[in-house]
Amino acid sequence: MIVIERRHRIKERLLKERSVKVADLVREFNVSEETVRRDLNQLEKEGLIVKNYGGAVLADDLQIAFNQIPPVEQRKFELFEEKDAIGAAAASLVRDGQIVILDSGSTAWCVARYLKALNELTVVTNGVNIAEECASAEGTNIFLLGGKLIKKSMSIVGPQAEAEMRKYNADYVFLGTSGISLKKGFTSSDPYEAEIKRAMIESAQQVVVVADHSKFSRQALLSFSGFDNVDMLITSDLVEPALLQEIEAQGVKVIAVPVGRTEAQGTE
């Protein structure tokens, strides 16, 4: 089994069971204890786990995130490895002291995880989950919009939230999307979510959409932006290159982070 596949399966087990044991992984993958410990060392560097005697547990911030959402919503984290890589790439664009807008999606939450390393950052969000994640960073100022709470997504929407959002001037906005269509652009399944995303776009100098590969096979109910209003799309190399080239032809800068096809395929 190649390294990337084994580590992917370890991550899947962690997301389901919250912990792993070295001895169990040695038996499952038929590899040495040293190999498993190298895998866990890498996952710890990525901030996904905390090692303990005999194994590892899911990192505290991920444990908290799972505990705060109902089981039906946990499906959002099925592609966590991919979303986390996209989040890291997106956060790398931001510098100390800048102003960032984040929506409430699970990929935007992955962006927030990495923004915590910055100093004197200001985060404006309609996501209760985003505000909670950023609250652990002492150097981050957080502005949470007021309005109607959508419980299933823990997002705040409505005319009040939209009016508040339009008062801000941000360096970046990072937006999730329910689907991406070459005809309709970026789409949302909820009318209220679509409206707050439009307000966010109006309030930022750089508009960045963050989306895993599954969004390219969907077209949701409403378009919240065409390609002409988006500066950058950050996704993964699991998306067909030809499709990304078509989007680039629309004037959108595309970054495809390596999570599958282009990662090193070494074996151990």
Residue type, 208: V
- What 3 state SS string does 84-99 have? HHHHHHHHCCCCCCCE
Arithmetic mean of pLDDT over the chain: 87
* 64: in domain: no
Share of the chain above pLDDT 70, in %: 90
Rounded CA gap, 20 and 203, in Å? 44
47 backbone φψ class: left, alpha, beta (φ>0; ψ -120 to 50): left
Which residue, of 58, 82, 99, is where some domain finishes?
58
- In the block, which residue shows the tokens 């963050």? 210
207 and 231 in contact (C-beta within 8 Å)? yes
**Is the same domain home to 78 and 207?**
yes
Assess whether pLDDT exceeds 70 at residue 52: yes
* 63: in domain: no
125 and 172 in contact (C-beta within 8 Å)? no
**Is the same domain home to 13 and 133?**
no
Assess whether pLDDT exceeds 80 at residue 86: yes
Looking up residue 84, the CATH number of its domain turns out to be: 3.40.50.1360
* 134: in domain: yes
**Is the same domain home to 136 and 233?**
yes
**Is the same domain home to 156 and 106?**
yes
pTM over 0.85: no
- pLDDT per residue as tens digits for the range 119-168: 999 999 999 989 999 998 888 999 999 999 988 788 999 999 999 999 99
Looking up residue 48, the CATH number of its domain turns out to be: 1.10.10.10
- Find the mean pLDDT for residues 65-83: 61
Q: What is the tally of structural domains in the chain? A: 2
**Is the same domain home to 95 and 144?**
yes
H helices present in the chain, as ranges? 3-17, 22-29, 33-45, 60-67, 80-91, 106-115, 128-134, 159-165, 191-202, 241-248
**Is the same domain home to 40 and 90?**
no
**Is the same domain home to 175 and 214?**
yes
Buried b (16+ CB within 10 A) or exposed e, 167-181: ebebbbbbbbbbbbe
Rg (CA), the chain: 19
Q: Give the model's pLDDT for residue 266.
A: 36
Share of the chain above pLDDT 90, in %: 61
* 35: in domain: yes
**Is the same domain home to 19 and 132?**
no
Q: Give the closest residue to 182 by CA, choosing from 221, 218, 231, 232.
A: 218
Which tokens hold the place of 234? 């950050």
| 3 state SS of 197 | helix
- pLDDT per residue as tens digits for the range 222-242: 899 999 999 999 999 999 999
Rounded CA gap, 50 and 56, in Å? 6
- Find the mean pLDDT for residues 19-29: 92
**Is the same domain home to 54 and 91?**
no
Which tokens hold the place of 250? 């629309």
* 264: in domain: no
- Find the mean pLDDT for residues 19-40: 92
**Is the same domain home to 93 and 146?**
yes
* 263: in domain: no
**Is the same domain home to 46 and 74?**
no
- Structural domain of residue 176, as residue ranges? 70-257
Contacting residues for 258 by C-beta, under 8 A, at least 6 apart: 85, 236, 237
**Is the same domain home to 100 and 191?**
yes
